[in-house]
Amino acid sequence: MGKRVVVTRAVPEAAVRVLREAAEVEVCGQDRPLTRAELHEAVRGAHGVVAMLHDRIDAEFVEAAGPQLEVVANVAVGYDNIDVPAVTERGVAVTNTPGVLAEATADLAFGLLLMVTRRLGEGERLLRSRTPWNFHLGFMLGSGLQGKTLGIIGLGGIGRSLARRARAFGMHIAYTGRSRAPAEVEAELDAHYLAQDELLRTADVVSLHCPLTEQTRHLIDEAALRTMKPTAVLVNTSRGPVVDEKALAEALRAGTIAGAALDVFENEPEVEPGLLDLDNVALAPHLGSATVETRTAMAELAARNVVAVLGGRSPLTEVGT
């Protein structure tokens, strides 16, 4: 009997064609995340699983699938939904999709930044509400980016792509993270490494590009927000729980910081209600990688990882390597 691959939610057909080179493919047809029980039932007997960021992959998942399971390919660069040690110690490879979504996510991050600094969402809401308006020199003034400092927390692929866009807008680049970037990256971006507190104190824009870990959960909390400039803007396109949303809503209401732009949320798909009525926040429903080209490339990379493992080869992008 041939090997079987389960895809937990619909993916572009190009990725399914790649999978069919190595296995029988079953794509779950529901238009929602599977419940935990449904997920475990769906993957029973699978040799490979193409998973989504909302699927919880842990020891119970592996046991539900069975001893024949060889690989779980996450269609995301982040893998906080996976208990990697629990899965890999059972002999199952774990892969993700880094690199292919960097440009699209950086585009989205910069677009959200422009939305909040130039009040684009607020302006569109004004027009759609048919509120009377007229042009004058003080009308809906925002703030420019030229000469301002972009502080990046996590100068990986997405952070570097964002920095390149920011430099084209005349911004200065500062960054922080677990370690310094290579000298050639700092030179290319004219980026300066700062301790996190100093970056928060001095940056005009703080953009989050770090993975979600126990160390980064609520990295931006009430104390961090108080450290930022009152004119500063926070951008989050990483993972929602990196930010304490209740503290952020209060900071935005109180003027502790000037604005925020969010593509991800702490209890996704729910959004902290306190954020929804604020004009100084731009919101998007997790659209960072949402281009046809990028989502197709992500799914195809996940599929190629599965095909490689089932064929006895090393995966292209294994987590932890």
The C-alpha angle with vertex 177 and arms to 171 and 182, in degrees rounded to 5, equals 75
Q: Nearest-CA neighbor of 70 among 30, 22, 34?
A: 22
Close Cβ partners of 309 (under 8 Å, ≥ 6 residues apart): 48, 70, 71, 93, 95, 315
Q: How far is Cα 28 from Cα 144, in angstroms, rounded to an integer? A: 46
Given the residues 40, 164, 286, 318, select the one marked as catalytic. Answer: 286
Q: How far is Cα 297 from Cα 32, in angstroms, rounded to an integer? A: 22
Q: How far is Cα 63 from Cα 254, in angstroms, rounded to an integer? A: 49
DSSP characters for 212-235? P-TTTTTSB-HHHHHHS-TT-EEE
Given the residues 119, 239, 295, 304, select the one marked as catalytic. Answer: 239
In the chain, what is the straight-line distance between the N-terminal and C-terminal CA atoms, in Å? 32
**Angstrom distances, CA of residue 169 to CA of 33, 156, 166, 184, 288:** 39, 20, 5, 21, 20
Please say if 54 is a catalytic residue. Answer: no
Contact 123, 140 (CB under 8 A): yes
Given the residues 24, 186, 268, 318, select the one marked as catalytic. Answer: 268
Cα atoms found within 13 Å of the Cα of residue 83, Cβ hemisphere only: 11
Please say if 286 is a catalytic residue. Answer: yes
Fill in the DSSP letter of residue 132. -
Q: How far is Cα 266 from Cα 286, in angstroms, rounded to an integer? A: 12
- What positions carry a catalytic annotation? 239, 268, 286
